[in-house]
């Protein structure tokens, strides 16, 4: 507590400013924050969308939410709620602003349907698993396509 006027930084301006130093550097949130643009580039999803119109939610954000959803065992509605209200989820999706808008659970349903109808329905989890295996140097490391968990 201070007396008088004290200048304080705008702590809640971005999820990056808030989460760095609070979230472990090897946590899934920090790893996704650093790697999400590399793991989930727009080109990865080009076959799922037409060139006409625009997507309401960037596929990279939906991919990050799907990964966190699988790891944390959330329903679609719980996952979009966590994205809307948990700073770590927005941080994992590239360090989005606190006020970045959420989306409805049908965005996850739609992405899963598009992926299921494609030639590579597991692409999001394949690249996530490959990244986890590449980062894991410990002989006790365990990864699986269903759990996407790495214990290093």
What confidence tens digit (pLDDT) does each residue in 108-136 have? 999 999 999 999 999 999 999 888 888 76
Is residue 86 within 8 A of residue 92, CB to CB? The reply is: no
Quote the domain boundaries for residue 52.
Answer: 15-135
Assigned domain for 143 exists: no
Spatial CB neighbours of 136, under 8 Å, sequence gap ≥ 6: 143, 150, 152
pLDDT on residue 127: 94
Assigned domain for 112 exists: yes
Please say if the pLDDT value at position 30 is more than 90: yes
Percent of the chain at pLDDT above 70? 78
pLDDT on residue 14: 84
Q: How many domains does the chain fold into? A: 1
Is residue 35 within 8 A of residue 131, CB to CB? The reply is: yes
Is residue 38 within 8 A of residue 127, CB to CB? The reply is: no
Assigned domain for 152 exists: no
Assigned domain for 96 exists: yes
Assigned domain for 7 exists: no
Mean pLDDT value of segment 23-46:
94
Assigned domain for 57 exists: yes
């Amino acid at each position: 507590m201070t007396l008088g006027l004290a200048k304080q930084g705008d702590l809640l301006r971005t999820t990056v400013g808030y989460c760095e130093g609070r979230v472990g550097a090897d946590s899934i949130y920090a790893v996704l924050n650093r790697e999400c643009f590399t793991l989930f580039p727009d080109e990865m999803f080009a076959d799922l969308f037409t060139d006409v119109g625009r997507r309401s939610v960037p596929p990279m954000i939906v991919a990050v939410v799907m990964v966190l959803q699988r790891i944390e065992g959330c329903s679609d509605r719980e996952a979009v709620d966590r994205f809307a209200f948990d700073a770590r989820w927005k941080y994992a999706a590239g360090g989005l602003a606190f006020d970045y808008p959420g989306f409805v659970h049908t965005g996850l349903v739609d992405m899963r349907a598009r992926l299921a109808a494609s030639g590579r329905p597991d692409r999001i989890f394949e690249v996530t698993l490959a990244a986890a295996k590449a980062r894991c140097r410990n002989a006790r490391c365990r990864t699986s396509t269903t759990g996407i968990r790495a214990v290093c």
